[in-house]
Amino acid sequence: MDLTSLVGRLEMSYMPVLFIIIILDFLFLLSKGLAKRKKESVMNVANYLLGVIPYFAIFFVLQFKVIFWVYENLSIWELPNTWYVFVLGFVVYDLSWWFIHFLGHNVRFFWCIHGVHHTPEDMNMSVSIRGSFFDFISSPHIIIWLPIFGFHPMLIYVVDMVARIYGVFTHANDKYFKRTPLMDKVFITPHLHRVHHSRNHLYLDTNYSNMFSFWDKLFGTYQEQIPQEKPEYGIMDRDVDSQNLASTQLKMWVDLYRDMKSAPNWIDKIKYLYKPPGWNHLDTGKLAIDLRKEAIKEHNL
């Protein structure tokens, strides 16, 4: 069996596990009367299926070739396939995730892609698979450069699959997964990730990591939920309909186009692409970082 077939089989084995977890979670919420926005859960799956089409096309045509080319031509050294290298792979993978995730929130072009994932207004495990049709532009960069540090591509693919399944768990509904202080010290838990999905000003652009909370602590983006500030899920643009496929996929792109069109010169048009969401050419706007600073002062944190 060649490597392409092996990776393909790994992907095919990962997807059923993913959907079994999500279906069981939804049925549990349904039985407890906690599934508030059922149509939104259906749209989570619809958004996922839409994104799968270009992902698999790019995955087999480009990503697979690139990651092996990087390993064979750019790796600094060759790491052994041992248990401790496997653990180290998770740590480095998570740092890469943090960085790409940071760009997804702080560069408007990438926010138009990643923001789709943040549109749901109810938290359950199906939210983990909601993504943009254009995810293939940004998400491959989480893994394709890691072989530079000597990690074998097959090890990276296994780490990626395990990490993505863990990412499903972090989207658990807050009604049955409460705060876990001890786990929070090391891991990104549902408690910490629901903060990340909140549009409350205090919680904006925090907890970027997928698995380990220490990266956010190191880079100053760590935030726990406080008792007096209950998370309100979704994005700040209330005009995006989280239960409509076209709205979630296209509304942010339409807004970006209109803002660029309104700019008087090419420099400002280009700035709309790389400046954070909320920036404008008139008065620079109010950014998430500004809103968060105000909220921190308000809560005396």
Per residue in 46-62, pLDDT (tens digit) is: 999 999 888 877 776 78
- Please report, to the nearest 10 degrees, the dihedral formed by the alpha carbons of residues 42, 48, 51, 53 taken in order: -90
Is 126's pLDDT higher than 80? yes
Is 6's pLDDT higher than 80? no
- Please report, to the nearest 10 degrees, the dihedral formed by the alpha carbons of residues 152, 158, 160, 162 taken in order: -150
pLDDT tens across 148-185, in order? Answer: 999 999 999 999 999 999 999 999 988 777 777 888 99
| Residues 247, 239: Cα–Cα separation, whole Å | 9
Give the pLDDT band of residue 7 (cuts 50, 70, 90).
low
Q: Is residue 287 part of a domain?
A: no
Q: Is residue 264 part of a domain?
A: no
Tally the domains of the chain: 1
Q: Is residue 179 part of a domain?
A: yes
Q: Is residue 250 part of a domain?
A: no
Give the pLDDT band of residue 81 (cuts 50, 70, 90).
confident
pLDDT tens across 83-94, in order? Answer: 999 999 999 999
> Would you state the pLDDT for residue 2?
59
Q: In which region does residue 270 sit, left (phi positive, over 0), alpha (psi from -120 to 50) or beta (all else)?
A: alpha
Q: Is residue 260 part of a domain?
A: no
pTM beyond 0.75: the answer is yes
- What integer best gives the mean pLDDT of the chain? 91
Show the domain range for 127: 3-219
| Residues 138, 213: Cα–Cα separation, whole Å | 22
Q: Is residue 64 part of a domain?
A: yes
% of the chain exceeding 70 in pLDDT: 96
Q: Is residue 227 part of a domain?
A: no
Q: Is residue 231 part of a domain?
A: no
pLDDT tens across 201-221, in order? Answer: 999 999 999 999 999 999 999
Give the pLDDT band of residue 37 (cuts 50, 70, 90).
confident
Higher model confidence: residue 5 or residue 124?
124
